[in-house]
Structure 1
Amino acid sequence: MLRMGRTRLKIEYIWYLVCFLAIPCDADDKNEINIWPMPVSVSFGSGNLHLSNDFELITKGSKFADASGILKEAFFRTIDIVRSSHVVELDTSKINPSFVLKGIHVIISSPSDELQYGIDESYKLNIPAHGKPVYAYIEAKTVYGALHGLQTFSQICSYSISSRGILVHQVPWIIADQPRFSYRGLLIDTARHYQPLQMIKKIIDAMAYTKLNVLHWHIVDKQSFPLEIPSYPKLWDGSFTIFERYTVADAAEIVSYAKKRGINVLAEIDVPGHAESWGVGYPSLRPSENCTGPLDVSNDFTFKLIDGILSDFSKIFKFKFIHLGGDEVDTSCWIITPHVKSWLQKQGIDDSDAYQYFVLRVQKLALSHGYEIINWEEAFNDFGSKLNPQTVVHNWIGGGVAEKIVKTGLRCIVSNQDKWYLDHYIRWQDFYSNEPLENITNHELHSRVLGGEVCMWGELIDAGDIEQMVWPRAAAAAERMWTSYDKLAKDPSDVRGRLSHFRCLLNQRGVASSPLEGLGKTRPYGPGSCYMK
């Protein structure tokens, strides 16, 4: 009998039993490809190789010197995660050498390890079924393509209970792969709840597993300003506590850690709204004591300080883009504060014009520091034709906006809240099905959609539950952003088994990923296998 902790069998539990326990699951089905996201081109066999205990990296013939150790570190991380699920006890000396994978050749064409938007992330992975000796091969234009190849390789390795070693299953493999979009992002919010450095690193690790490549760091907001700004050291007086702050060295460490995993860090200052915390250290930024936001548009010090922030940012955040926010600006403070109202009258503008003036002036400051600009959707909706031509508009309010943006000649990132907001209770199937190019029928305009981003706003999450809210739903969107359109499933139920397998793999690697059948953070419905579809 099924033993329950309570006397009453819950309706949700019965629903789970009917819908899912009736579906068989064979994680070792030789016809299944358990790779996430799905590669562009893949063929495989039915053989197995054992991973050598002395598995080695060979880079002979590669133009990439790996002076910073990116490839070498990635190789050892890959081997560590492959071997982390169990203690390996296999004595490979007792196995026919023709069926032992000795190592992996990695050939990289570019000598550079520069990480920027639009770099070539393609790779080819080949693993033969046997040989004397047997080696796998990764070919890539850049080291970051090679990192993706290593991630794919890690997913076709698994522990064998029978041999007590690591198997590379379904050999031979021939994989050719590249991303559909160059921008594949995840937003985290450290202003509503502080996220410790180690948790941010865990998020970055899991992003690498899913081949996401932009961490959008929403660092500050009205509630707190946790980041050290050397030019204006009182800004982080607006943090929640002195224990919930990031030093310049912390921020640089996050950027470095992410780069080693092929991930850019997009920093955001959300102005002129969402900035009340700035006034804790510098009260003159506020229109008045009783009207604390948005930032005082009439005060030149406001723009001098923003210029200082951007100058400091340029020394840490090397991604070509900066996010300047610009959303949800309530200008009523400007109207009712006497000195701001007087300034508006002298300029001959109203509060709506002042909002435009603020956004455009900050755009010029960002451009002067070498950044290209991202603004939230409201700036486009209110005065799109006035935005700098280099502006990328970040859609979030709803669907159908990307089509309007690209038709004006601007670029776009898609994050519509009804499908790709992780703090909303949205099913993974909706994350998977959300199409960034929806209704953009002119193929010449497709390149103006840089990609997409799933957003984990922090009002109701902290370090205790962020991973459960992000994964596996962000992984569902990651396949939409990586895999070529013709390879995507038209019906999300067709990928349930593969995503379920990947979710279990995340758990195995120490990522606290929720069960699939939840709307964000949830618990299992009862006893059962992790792999249950």
Structure 2
Amino acid sequence: MQLSVILAATTLVASVFAADAAPAVSPLTKVPHNLLWPRPQTWTAGTTDNTINPQALVFNIVGGDQAKLTKAANRVSTNALAVGCNVLPSYGCSGQVYGDITTVSVTVSGTDGDLADADESYTLDTTSSGVTITAVHTVGALRALETLTQLIKPVSKLPDWIASDAAGCAAADAAGLARGFVVPNGPWHIVDKPSYSYRGVSLDTSRNYIPVSAIKRTLDGLAATKLNVLHWHIVDATSFPVVSTSYPDLATAAYDALSVYSYDDVKAVIAYAADRGIRVIPEFDTPAHANAYSFSKGLAPYVLCVNGGAAGTTSFWPTCPEPPCGNVNIADPGAAPAFGALVKEYSALFTDSVFHMGGDEIERFCLGTSKEYVNLAHPGVTDFNTVFNASTNTPSATFEKQLTATYQVYADTIRKALPTGKVAQYWEDIVLSEGVTVPAGSIIQVWNSWDNKAQKNSLQKVLDLNAKGAGYKIVDTNNDYYYLDGGSGAWLTDRGFGPGGDSWKENYWTKYKTWQRVYTHDPRTSAQENTTDTDGTGLAGKPKGDLSAIIGASAAIWGERIDANNLDVKLWPRAAAAAEALWSADAFPTPDAKDFFEAQPRLQVFRDRLISRGFNAEALQPFWCNYNQCGAAFSGYPAGLAFGNQKPTYW
């Protein structure tokens, strides 16, 4: 390579779709050869196939970040060649075969700024001889180059288990597979942009250490699906796997000396992500999930209930929902400045304009039964049981009121460690469960589903706060749709012991989430499933309020049963289903009437691309189904379904 610098209306089971989803006739048409994922907002195609040699393309890049775009242009060649064999060199000054399409012109008209405010829109046009890409910002051009990669189709796709190296291509030749690549159905005209500005994956590297190589591979997957945020849940109660200059002895909270991210590792991840137009938002959670902090002499005095044991108990429950326990003593005036030093350190290391400060799952039993907290928060109290009934694990109204007031002071103080201009992100608990007020513009990440008592889910509760003037932005990580690590069964040996086992038993929200379930969810327009109804037939209403506050969503891959060896298969291609639902939301008439028979062939082709790029992505179906209809005959789909009664095509 040379560089010069759909859907149809249908009725589906209630466990997937909202009961009030109205049938609608989709104006969307089938994408030729199932080439694009996520689906562009608008596009037209023609009828002409033009040959293309990914190795001989000349890229003319004007404007934008030349270094990033040059690297991306190189990836076009590498990723396109991974799915098939190129033509044999036979002519040309460089010994290459030049296809019909020889040039790619990329023009970026604007000046890049913070990735949080980047314009990801682009246009892409193909002719019989070239490709033209225009974008306002570099990140838009990066998205367009991924689209171009997906438009390049091998004349004969190699089987997933055959590499496109010399040996693999020799075997393909012997088997009679044709070499070469085309851009089929040209000319293409694509005008595209995301429906949501925040489209992410929350990755946990504390429960089990994830090496940098696997994080980078995950970033490659995000780039391929046009996801744009890695929410790096880098530490938790179980380990602190990152070097600290403020508290060097925190490294002893890593699992071993080889399971630690150095500053250079973190910078390498951030740079790798930035080259792909992806933000890295770190999370350093307090005041709960705090056990690992106790490994530092400077922080240990402020951490209560280490490894459980509050009020004389020996088990983690009811001290905390998951071992090991640990909660910051938020009533201690020295706690916030001490932990603020970490916030100051890591908000300088991580360059994104958003810093995730945690804020979930305060351990009430821990605080209510610890003299270190009660003596400060409730001075003069001699009988702890009057503020917190340990035998029934019940806080009093006085305890709750003081918890909110105490936490408010802690939150306000620790947030001062953030540099001016940095936006704080929190889990919903801080504003919904603890009643703390955080500044307008803060990002609230919701994770809980239906509250049977309130008859609302958490996303709606935050919208209600906004209706009263809170001014929060919202990221949806609804555990009933976006928790992708579930479905592996329990890992705790005391799985039947009290509510503390619920998070890992095979109960409602840790069941396996199918790609179809993920795909049909839209944070602004989907009815939220009532997760207290475990058979999946009870549906709540759609969100109400100023829905523009919902800036996007993040799929989550928590690490209790995830490490580098099964990360791919748990994450892909289901994270791609979330990616299209978020990028292409405006292209669909309703999120509840998406046609799986249109989407699955495209997702299958995209999954093939992931495999060719080195991902261990989960299989979607028997290979037979790629060419033959599976399911329509017995699923009760109506005869008029646009794609459900058609013979599928593959590549």
- TM range, normalised to the smaller chain? 0.7 to 0.9
Match of 1:154 in 2: 149
* Residue equivalent to 2:566: 465
CA contact (8 A) 1:232 1:305 kept: no
Q: Letter of the aligned partner of 1:295 in structure 2?
A: V
Q: Mapping of 1:17-96 within 5 angstroms? A: 31-52=32-53, 53-59=55-61, 62-64=62-64, 66=66, 69-91=67-89, 93=91
The reply to whether residue 204 of structure 1 matches residue 219 of structure 2 is: yes
Match of 2:437 in 1: 386
SS of equivalent residue, structure 2 residue 191? strand
Instruction: Spell out the pairing of 1:221-232 with structure 2 (5 A cutoff).
Output: 221-232=236-247
Would you say the 8 A contact 1:115–1:264 is kept in 2?
no
Instruction: Report Cα offsets for 1:441-480 as digits up to 9, x if no partner.
Output: 55xx122001001000000111100000001111101111
1-structure distance, mates of 2:400, 2:461: 25
User: Residue 196 of structure 1 aligns to which amino acid in structure 2?
Assistant: P
2:411 corresponds to which of 356, 362, 365: 362
CA contact (8 A) 2:114 2:353 kept: no
Instruction: Name the SS for the 1:126 alignment partner.
Output: strand
1:429 to 506, 516, 519: 516
1:307 aligns to what? 340
CA apart distance, 1:352? 5.6
Q: Is the 8 A contact 2:202 2:555 kept in 1?
A: yes
Provide closer, same or farther for how the CA distance between residues 531 and 441 of structure 1 changes in structure 2, counting only shifts above 3 A.
Answer: farther
1: CA distance, partners of 2:105 / 2:91:
22
RMSD: 2.6
Which stretch of structure 1 is more off in the superposition, 171-180 or 76-85?
76-85
State the Cα distance separating 1:267 from its structure 2 match. 0.5
Query: 1:206 Cα deviation (Å)?
Result: 0.5
CA contact (8 A) 1:323 1:375 kept: yes
Q: Secondary structure at the match of 2:59?
A: strand
Is the Cα contact below 8 Å between 2:331 and 2:410 reproduced in 1? Answer: no
Instruction: Map residues 180-219 of structure 1 onto 2, 5 A cutoff.
Output: 180-219=195-234
With 280-289 and 374-383 compared, the bigger mean Cα shift is at 280-289
Secondary structure of 1:369's partner?
A: coil
Maintained 8 Å contact 1:331/1:351: no
Query: How far 1:512 sits from its partner (Å)?
Result: 1.1
For 1:188 and 1:369, the matched residues in 2 are separated by 24
1:491 aligns with 2:594: yes
Aligned-partner Cα distance in 2 for 1:111–1:505:
32
Q: Distance in 2 between matches of 1:104 and 1:285?
A: 58
Contact map agreement 2:42 2:587 (CA 8 A) in 1: no
Give me the whole-angstrom Cα distance separating, in 2, the residues matched to 1:270 and 1:428. Answer: 29
- State the alpha-carbon separation in 2 of the partners of residues 207 and 265 from structure 1: 12
> What pairs with 1:64-463 in structure 2 (closer than 5 Å)?
64=64, 66=66, 69-91=67-89, 93=91, 100-112=100-112, 114-128=113-127, 130=128, 134-161=129-156, 163-282=178-297, 283-287=300-304, 290-291=309-310, 293-346=326-379, 350=399, 353-354=402-403, 357-358=406-407, 361-367=410-416, 368-370=418-420, 371-384=422-435, 386-398=437-449, 400-409=457-466, 410-424=472-486, 425-438=512-525, 439-442=542-545, 445-463=546-564
Per mean C-alpha deviation after superposition, the further-off stretch among 411-420 and 392-401 is 392-401
Give the Cα–Cα distance (whole angstroms) in 1 for the partners of residues 583 and 335 of structure 2: 40
1:392-420 alpha-carbon deviations (Å, 9 max, x no partner): 21111115332331242222111110111
- Range with bigger deviation, 237-246 or 156-165: 156-165
Q: Distance in 1 between matches of 2:444 and 2:200?
A: 14
Contact 2:202 2:231 in 1 (8 A): yes
Deviation by residue 1:336-391 (Cα, 9 ceiling, x = unmatched): 22232211123997366335533653355335423212211222223557232232
The CA distance in 2 between the partners of 1:172 and 1:93, in whole Å, is: 26
1 CA distance for matches of 2:268 and 2:209? Answer: 17
Question: 1:99/1:191 Cα in 2 relative to 1: closer, same or farther (>3 Å)?
Answer: closer
Q: How does 1:471-482 map to 2 (within 5 A)?
A: 471-482=572-583
Say if 1:398 and 1:462 are closer, same or farther in 2 by CA, change over 3 A: same
Alpha-carbon distance in 1 for matches of 2:361, 2:65: 47
Code of the aligned partner of 1:230: T
Q: Confirm or deny: 8 A CA contact 1:395 1:413 kept in the other structure.
A: yes
Q: 1:207 to 1:223 in 2, by over 3 A?
A: same
Shift in Å, 1:326: 1.4
SS at match of 1:82: helix
2:100 alignment partner AA: V
Tell me the distance in 2 between the aligned counterparts of 1:274 and 1:477.
28
Higher percent of residues as helix: 1
In structure 2, what residue type is equivalent to 1:73? K
Separation in 1, partners of 2:186, 2:380:
71
Show structure 2 runs of 5+ residues with no match: 1-29, 157-176, 311-324, 382-397, 451-456, 467-471, 487-511, 526-541, 631-651
Aligned-partner residue type, residue 288 of structure 2: G
The CA deviation at 1:88 is 1.9
State the one-letter code of the partner of 1:402: L
What does residue 7 of structure 1 align with? none
User: Is residue 115–residue 262 contact of structure 1 (8 Å, CA) maintained in 2?
Assistant: no
CA offset digits 1:136-175 (Å, max 9, x no partner): 1000000000000000000011222365122222211100
Q: Residue type matched to 1:263 in 2?
A: I
Matched letter for residue 287 of structure 2: P
Report Cα offsets for 1:268-323 as digits up to 9, x if no partner. Answer: 01111111111022321323665462112233442222211111112221222111
Q: Tell me, yes or no, if the aligned pair for 1:48 and 1:99 is still in contact at 8 Å.
A: no
Deviations 1:39-90 (A, max 9, x none): 011111122222234211102xx33352xx1110111011111112344234
> Aligned partners of 1:146 and 1:364: how far apart in 2?
41
Are the aligned partners of 1:504 and 1:531 in contact in 2 as well (CA < 8 Å)?
A: no
Alpha-carbon separation, structure 1, partners of 2:295 and 2:595: 48
**Using a 3 Å threshold, how does the CA distance of structure 1 residues 530 and 234 change in structure 2: closer, same or farther?**
farther
Q: Which residue is 1:5 aligned to? A: none
Task: Flag the 1:203–1:360 CA change in 2: closer, same or farther, 3 A.
Answer: farther
In the alignment, the residues of structure 2 paired with residue 57 and residue 322 of structure 1 have an alpha-carbon distance, to the nearest angstrom, of 37
- The one-letter amino acid paired with 1:285 is Y
Name the CA distance, whole Å, in 1 between partners of 2:361 and 2:401: 12
Is the partner of 2:52 in helix, strand or coil?
strand
3-state DSSP of counterpart to 1:495: helix
SS of the counterpart of 2:116?
A: coil
Q: Is the 8 A contact 2:105 2:132 kept in 1?
A: yes
Distance 1:530 1:496 in 2: 9
- Structure 1 residues 514, 346: closer, same or farther in 2, change over 3 A? same
TM-score (norm 2): 0.70
Structure 1: segments with no counterpart, 5+ residues: 1-28, 518-524
Distance 1:248 1:185 in 2: 23
What SS does the aligned partner of 1:499 have?
helix
